Amino acid sequence: MPTPVLHRLFSTAMIGAVLLMTSTASAAATTPSEATSALSLTPYEASFSASLDKGVAIDGGATRTLRQLDSGLWHYDFRVSSFIANITESVIFRWQDQQVIPLRYRYHLSGMLIRDRERLIDFNWQDGMVSGRYEGKTFELPLRPGSLDPLGYQLQLHQDLRAGLTDVTYQVVDKGRYDEDRFQVIRQEPLKTELGEVETLVVEKVRGEGSGRETLMWFAPQWQHLLVRLTQKEPDGSRYQIHLEDMDLSERPTPP
């Protein structure tokens, strides 16, 4: 499988959550209630399997881990291990007023017969600047309100869904520029997982007309809106999927 395909399958660009002084997430259809406006973060670890269309399995897996550091800051990371490539991605951030405030983002890709890739992003909120390195070139940008990194926005999406938002937009610093990523809840449906059947919210990444690419994500409200499935259809018709295999989440309720 070509390296770009593996990268798209596991990359943060797919979850695409998430990902910050004041979030640019907007409640186009729903406003969070007072009962959900003070959500806290819950440390967790989740493992995923991946597959290509026609059921061809990838010899590898992925894990997501959220933990709090002794300093009070948070560490969120995503790791992929396979016979083709290894990916390590992480962000250290501050959790304040229900918002992810990124401080340091790191990404590293390595593997057989491929060129190592590295991305660095540092957020200086005091000076109002964000700097980093992409493809060997450095960049510097003025910080926008609600700026997020390519991994932190996924966590922000996760938390905003918990708060009842159904239409959100994020300003994400990626590849030396700002991307505006929008997500919408399009339906609710039950989903069978390795851990049992659970009700889910189906979220779509909103793209421009003629994009030809479709990204759908399934989040389980009963499991604190944890991502349990993701599918992406490419313009050439290829389809990639990841599925939740196991998780360590406190206060995990058992689906009926």
Per-residue CA distances from 172 to 89, 144, 244 (Å): 15, 10, 25
Looking at residue 209, what is its pLDDT?
Answer: 81
Q: What is the pTM of this model?
A: 0.80
Tokens of 25: 């997430």
Lookup result for tokens 């869904």: 161
Residues 172 and 41: beta-carbon distance below 8 Å: no
Looking at residue 59, what is its pLDDT?
Answer: 61
List per-residue pLDDT tens for the chain, 256 residues long: 343 444 444 444 333 332 222 233 333 333 333 334 457 898 999 999 877 664 455 566 889 999 999 999 999 999 988 777 788 999 999 999 999 999 999 999 887 767 788 999 999 999 999 999 998 899 999 999 999 999 999 999 999 999 999 999 999 999 999 999 999 999 999 999 999 999 999 999 999 887 888 999 999 999 989 999 999 888 887 788 889 999 998 644 444 4
DSSP structure string for the chain: --HHHHHHHHSGGG---B---S-----SS----GGGTT-----EEEEEEEEEGGGPBPSEEEEEEEEE-TTS-EEEEEEEEESSEEEEEEEEEEEETTEEEEEEEEEEEEETTS--EEEEEEEETTTTEEEEEETTEEEEEEPPTTEE-TTHHHHHHHHHHHTT--EEEEEEEETTEEEEEEEEEEEEEEEEETTEEEEEEEEEEE--TT---EEEEEEEGGGTTEEEEEEEE-TTS-EEEEEEEEEEETT-PPP-
SS3 assignment for 163-228: CCCCEEEEEEEECCEEEEEEEEEEEEEEEEECCEEEEEEEEEEECCCCCCCEEEEEEEHHHCCEEE
CA–CA separation, 18 and 154 (whole Å): 2
Looking at residue 36, what is its pLDDT?
Answer: 41
Residue 66's closest CA among 253, 249, 254? 249
Looking at residue 227, what is its pLDDT?
Answer: 93
Looking at residue 113, what is its pLDDT?
Answer: 65
